[in-house]
Amino acid sequence: MLSGALVVSAPGKVILHGEHAVVHGKVALAVALNLRTFLRLQPHSNGKVTLNLPNIGTKLTWDVANLQLLDTNFLEQGDVPAPTPEQLEKLKEVDGMPRNCAGPEHLAVLAFLYLYLGICRKQRALLSLDITVWSELPPGAGLGSSAAYCVCLAAALLTACEDISNPLKDGDSTSRWPEEDLELINQWALRGERVIHGNPSGVDNAISTWGGALRYQQGKISCLNRPPALQILLTNTKIPRSTKALVAGVRNRLIKFPEIVAPLLTSIDAISRECERVLAEMATAPALEQYLVLEELIDMNQHHLNALGVGHTCLDQLCQVTAALGLHSKLTGAGGGGCGITLLRPDLERAEVEAAKQALTSCRFDCWETSIGAPGVSVHLASSLPGPVCQALGGL
């Protein structure tokens, strides 16, 4: 049993190349985004378990004794694609949420209960815990915020129940779990994602668990070896979109114009593969010339995505604003609004980066300067975290 607070974090994700083409069997490259979700777990002996989600204004407390009375046999581990409606109904009976609540906060609470009961049920008694989760990731922007949430919960609960060891040693400020523990974290995180999304691909929780970059094709996920950390601007146009409708639009365009659209998807696949090759080269000796190749690939992919019909005037504006400053941008994710990424070459002056950020925020976009290829789920010494994170987690 933990004697003190446990603090973990996990990254979000962006799709570097291959969005939409991946639906049609092509390669996609996902990279860990160094905007992170942080979780603080404090063990107690007060007979309560509390979940605090300050980003969405949700705080709930349950009596451990009442949860202990639940028949949790329905949580028996099995390779099921998603929790059944009957299983979710059992959780809703004790979730403490209003009956008519069906928003993301309700799904977040259900995922927590599913993981808490599923992981802790093997204990002689359910643990009394105080858990706060706070994120730098905007929700609903296609940046893997729900996966980072589930990865943090899985890592913290598995550690609290001693299914995996706390890898943080004396003198460490940050540490990561060994491979076999990451596998277990990822398995449980995927189960949490299934509560939220039904039948997700598993890409988001995998990239949040292992970090770095991974390749996804036809259900197969493999990590790229030692990808470089690339500096980017991440821009949220704040234009809502329906991923389902955009995917359907591409499919309809492929049916209508097969000889035009099929080569576009094949070309996007080639862009993903070329990017994978360049990133592998950069792992040993990154050079400016390789950044220039990455910029060309970004431009070509963005034009292809527009040809597929998943662009938006705000994304065009994002690309035009950054192009005027000599930078290269593309949409990331479903398109139709949402987010875009801008590569920052290492030879850029500070003033050039600030000018780009100012230009994008003047378009009423949200803009973050961050990196991709970030570390996966990690455990932290609380005192080593930045002040705003400590404050958000309740003043560590």
Give catalytic status of residue 378 as yes or no: no
CA distance 270 to 363: 33
For helices 179-197 and 145-160, angle between their N-to-C axes, nearest 10 degrees: 130
CA atoms within 13 A on the CB side of 302: 24
Sign, CA dihedral 309-314-316-319, equals negative
Structure tokens at 215: 């390749």
Any alpha helices (H) in 8-144, and if so which ranges?
Answer: 64-68, 85-92, 104-120
Structure tokens at 150: 């589930």
Which three-class secondary structure string do you get for 234-291? EEECCCCCCHHHHHHHHHHHHHHCHHHHHHHHHHHHHHHHHHHHHHHHHCCCCCHHHH
Q: What's the DSSP call for residue 324?
A: T
Measured between alpha carbons, how far apart are the two ends of the chain, in Å? 20
CA distance 53 to 111: 13
Give catalytic status of residue 222 as yes or no: no
Q: Out of 9, 135, 145, 146, which one is annotated catalytic?
A: 146
Q: What's the DSSP call for residue 80?
A: -
Q: Out of 130, 181, 204, 269, which one is annotated catalytic?
A: 204
The DSSP line for 160-215 is HTTSS---PPTT-SEE---HHHHHHHHHHHHHHHHHHHSS--SHHHHHHHHBSEEE
Q: Which residues are catalytic?
A: 146, 204
